[in-house]
Chain A
């Protein structure tokens, strides 16, 4: 019998049918993400390494969200204004010890995934504010391209340090480029302005011996072939406003899908009943599981700023996943 790690990698990296449907929320040691103060500010809120102010929110399970005055008003002045975190000043071994103590370190049993938050597009929006960032992409594409290149340079340095200290199997680049109904920008804008930087980052992750995943919430099915083209091994966190079954049918041999749970529907609500949760997990396992190249992931947004509220939300989802994980 495979270990959960071997089973996960079979689906997510080799794009084959695993022995059972892996579960992102139980088979993975998740490092990075909100732990990294240089990316998301300190716990409870404050400045990140770029000078952007973050707040912790009770309504989003303590997730940090950017706010305050934009750091950058005029994209053409980015070279004078934007500063990057000094990664050499960071206590990498101390951070690894802290994160291992919280998230676990059973590397032989579970996959180690480092969540690299705030991708190139998201960082632009954090620096400028959303509306200004989106306008800048159309009005000043050359300046945006140059800033995206600089952010990618910084991220490649981050990948090198993560590779050295965390030694993850996977790095997931979080760059949310989609809404409930479609991409924030046209596919053409994505392809000309963002995709080349996503590719360069994916290449750097692979050059460090790590498998690249890309995360975006929302409806992004139109650019799944682009994710494949730039060497992405898996797309997370797939939400069912996308035709996940169609994607698995058409592209399952080239890219894995992580997700499936209806996080924005009834099953994603704080007051979802165990029956509603059970039914949606069963739907995921039965609909997507048979294609292979699929990893289940489900969560709910819960009120409360601490990790315990988040865990409270996923316990019944994980219990149902355990019940239905065996593909018939």
Chain B
């Protein structure tokens, strides 16, 4: 098995204690950092698909993302200054009045694993704060808004409409337990993902990546 294949397997099975050494061995064996990163991104795609299809569950996805993160730490010094792999910046937050962060955190991990530079605004984020974050960060290509409560669905709508009023061309993706594709259409979002596993492919599709 090639070193890159070994790294892929360690991401998919979430072996965060072993992956740093494996990534270093792959580099030492002459594999390019970009190729190793691409392989890990592909592995997280597999993990996301398995989660969406019900083959694996949240803990398996979490430990895979954790392993990917540990692997990326080894690559970072090697790839410093090389922004070619970034899909751009994505601002994410749970909307005003809603304190739920589990789904939001999962999506942050999946989008980060897919190649976005993530800016996590946390929970209970007022609509205007998403707009301010676009001003404060470079190369923002996507905003992701999460809402879990039926009572905070209007806040999701307000967030999307506030963002679109300030930046009509900004792509906005929404999600959360009570959210549907119909509701996403109704409030003017560009996309909706039913779960964290499919959020990465939907995000890439929306930005044309």
Q: Which A51-83 residues sit within 8 Å CB-CB of chain B?
A: 55, 57-60, 65, 67
In the complex, residue of chain A having the shortest beta-carbon distance to the beta carbon of B106? A131
Q: How far is the CB of A62 from chain B (nearest CB, A)?
A: 12
Q: Which B1-52 residues sit within 8 Å CB-CB of chain A?
A: 14, 16
> Pick the contact of A189 from B14, B57, B151, B152 — CB < 8 Å?
B57
Determine whether the beta carbon of B63 is less than 8 Å from that of A138: yes
Instruction: Provide the bound-state CA to CA distance between A184 and B62, in Å.
Output: 11
Complex contacts, B209 vs chain A, CB 8 Å = none
Question: What class of interface size applies to chain B in its complex with A?
Answer: 20 to 34
Q: Is B165 close to A, CB under 8 A?
A: no
Complex contacts, B59 vs chain A, CB 8 Å = 134-135, 137-138, 184-186, 189
Q: Which of B14, B16, B63, B98 has the most CB of A within 10 A?
A: B63
Complex contacts, B58 vs chain A, CB 8 Å = 134, 179, 184-185
Query: Residues of B at under 8 Å CB distance from A?
Result: 14, 16, 54, 56-60, 62-63, 66, 97-99, 101-102, 105-106, 149-153, 177-178, 194-195
Query: Residues of A at under 8 Å CB distance from B?
Result: 55, 57-60, 65, 67, 130-131, 134-135, 137-139, 179-186, 189, 263-265, 268-270, 300-303
In the complex, residue of chain A having the shortest beta-carbon distance to the beta carbon of B59? A134
Instruction: Provide the bound-state CA to CA distance between A105 and B102, in Å.
Output: 38
Instruction: Provide the bound-state CA to CA distance between A189 and B59, in Å.
Output: 10
Instruction: Provide the bound-state CA to CA distance between A131 and B195, in Å.
Output: 16
Determine whether the beta carbon of A182 is less than 8 Å from that of B54: yes
Complex contacts, B54 vs chain A, CB 8 Å = 182
> Pick the contact of A185 from B57, B101, B102, B194 — CB < 8 Å?
B57
In the complex, residue of chain B having the shortest beta-carbon distance to the beta carbon of A183? B57
Instruction: Provide the bound-state CA to CA distance between A122 and B131, in Å.
Output: 35
Q: How far is the CB of A280 from chain B (nearest CB, A)?
A: 13
Knowing A137-B59, A139-B63, A184-B58, say if A65 contacts B99 (CB, 8 Å). Answer: yes
Q: Which of B101, B149, B195 has the most CB of A within 10 A?
A: B149
